[in-house]
């Protein structure tokens, strides 16, 4: 890989160290599935344990940087110029059920722009990396978005509504409208990997509402550096860490945006 900024090297090192613990934890899930207590508490502990490793590694390099993370909230709030955006286990429900479709996701933000990021699936040993101006990579191979040109032939991925969502009907109507106009839609359960898969051409596009910033921060730069387009739509300015996102190759982007914005699905 031709990525050698100090920040990308710090992120990769942190991901590799944290992944060793996460791989061991994932290996215990199958045993916990048959226990009366269930794996829920264990997964929460695994999440916090992995987050601590990541934070320790990142702070060792730059103790003054801000950190935005799901479990610990915002660390060093005063520093809004340089921030790490962390999702320890993106795809927790998959992890909980022993499905190897989850990832560590870390983006580095400078002056409100994501400059580099890593999405690492430790079970599949797939590391997606990118930094601004230097391209996107899967392990050591350069990646690009697909060149699919027709929206009706596109394979998309989405996440659907969360259990507590107050706009489930809107999201389901949106899903029906989009799925009626594309080849097929998948739901894999990890926003970070969904974006990474669009970046390497496995999917042609992705959209989802009510995401957290840490779900997609690394994916933004990876997808852009792979030649993709990223849009945010109908975001609530009162919730700066929430996002509605649309990402795809350049050929189908406008058509997909039109499908999302159709008023008859309100």
Q: Of 14 and 162, which is predicted with more confidence? A: 14
Q: What is the pLDDT of residues 93-102, one digit of tens each?
A: 899 888 999 9
pTM greater than 0.85 (yes/no)? yes
Contacts of 60 (CB under 8 A, 6+ apart): none
Q: Provide the pLDDT for residue 35.
A: 47
Lowest mean pLDDT among 69-78, 114-123, 135-144, 204-213: 69-78
Phi, psi of 199 (to 5 degrees): -60, -35
In 3D space, the residue among 216, 9, 226, 234 whose CA is nearest the CA of residue 114 turns out to be 216
Rounded mean pLDDT, 12-29? 92
Q: For 246, phi and psi rounded to 5 degrees?
A: -135, 125
What single string gives the DSSP state of each residue in 27-85?
HHHHHHHTSSS-SHHHHHHHHHHHHHHHHHHHHHH-TTSEEEETTTEEESTT--SEEEE
Q: Mind listing the domains of the chain with CATH numbers?
A: 6-142 (3.30.540.10), 151-265 (3.40.190.80)
* Tokens of residue 158, six digits: 């989405």
In sequence order, the 6+-apart residues with CB closer than 8 A to the CB of 243 are: 211, 212, 213, 215, 216, 232, 235
**Predicted pLDDT of residue 250:** 94
Q: So what's the pLDDT on residue 96?
A: 85
**Residue 226, number of CB atoms within 10 A of its CB:** 25
Helix (H, G, I), strand (E, B) or coil at 171: helix
pLDDT of 234 above 90? no
Whether 157 and 191 have beta carbons less than 8 Å apart is answered as no
Measure the CA angle with vertex 118, ends 116 and 124; round to 5°.
160
Ranking 71-75, 80-84, 207-211, 217-221 by mean pLDDT, the lowest is 71-75
Biggest alpha carbon–alpha carbon distance for the chain: 52
So what's the pLDDT on residue 160? Answer: 83
Containing 136, the helix (H) or strand (E) segment is strand 136-138
DSSP run (H or E) holding 19: helix 6-33
Q: Do strands 141-142 and 136-138 pair parallel, antiparallel, or not at all (unpaired)?
A: antiparallel
- Asked whether the beta carbons of 115 and 222 are under 8 A apart, the reply is no
Mean of the per-residue pLDDT values of the chain: 90
Q: Between these two residues, 32 and 89, which has the higher pLDDT value?
A: 89
Q: Which two tokens stand for residue 35?
A: 């226990």
């Amino acid at each position: 890989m031709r990525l050698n900024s100090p920040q990308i090297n710090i992120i990769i090192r942190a991901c590799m160290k944290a992944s060793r613990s996460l791989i061991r934890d994932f290996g215990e899930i199958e045993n916990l599935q048959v226990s009366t207590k269930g794996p829920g508490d264990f997964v929460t502990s695994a999440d916090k344990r992995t987050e601590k490793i990541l934070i320790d590694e990142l702070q060792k390099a730059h103790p003054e940087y801000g950190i935005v993370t799901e479990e610990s909230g915002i660390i060093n709030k005063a520093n809004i110029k340089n921030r790490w955006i962390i999702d320890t286990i993106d795809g927790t429900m998959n992890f909980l059920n022993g499905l190897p479709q989850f990832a560590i996701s870390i983006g580095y933000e400078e002056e409100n722009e994501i400059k580099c990021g890593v999405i690492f699936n430790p079970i599949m040993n797939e590391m997606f990396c990118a930094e601004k101006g230097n391209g996107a990579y899967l392990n050591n191979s350069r990646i690009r978005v697909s060149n699919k040109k027709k929206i009706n032939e596109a394979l998309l991925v989405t996440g659907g509504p969360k259990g507590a969502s107050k706009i489930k009907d809107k999201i389901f109507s949106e899903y029906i409208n989009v799925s009626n106009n594309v080849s097929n839609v998948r739901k894999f359960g990890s926003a970070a990997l969904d974006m990474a898969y669009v970046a390497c051409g496995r999917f042609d596009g992705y959209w989802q509402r009510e995401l957290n910033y840490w779900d997609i921060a690394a994916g933004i730069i990876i997808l852009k550096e792979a030649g993709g387009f990223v849009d945010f739509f109908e975001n609530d300015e009162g919730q700066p860490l929430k996002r509605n996102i649309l990402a795809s190759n350049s050929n189908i982007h406008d058509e997909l945006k039109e499908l999302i914005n159709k008023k008859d699905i309100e």
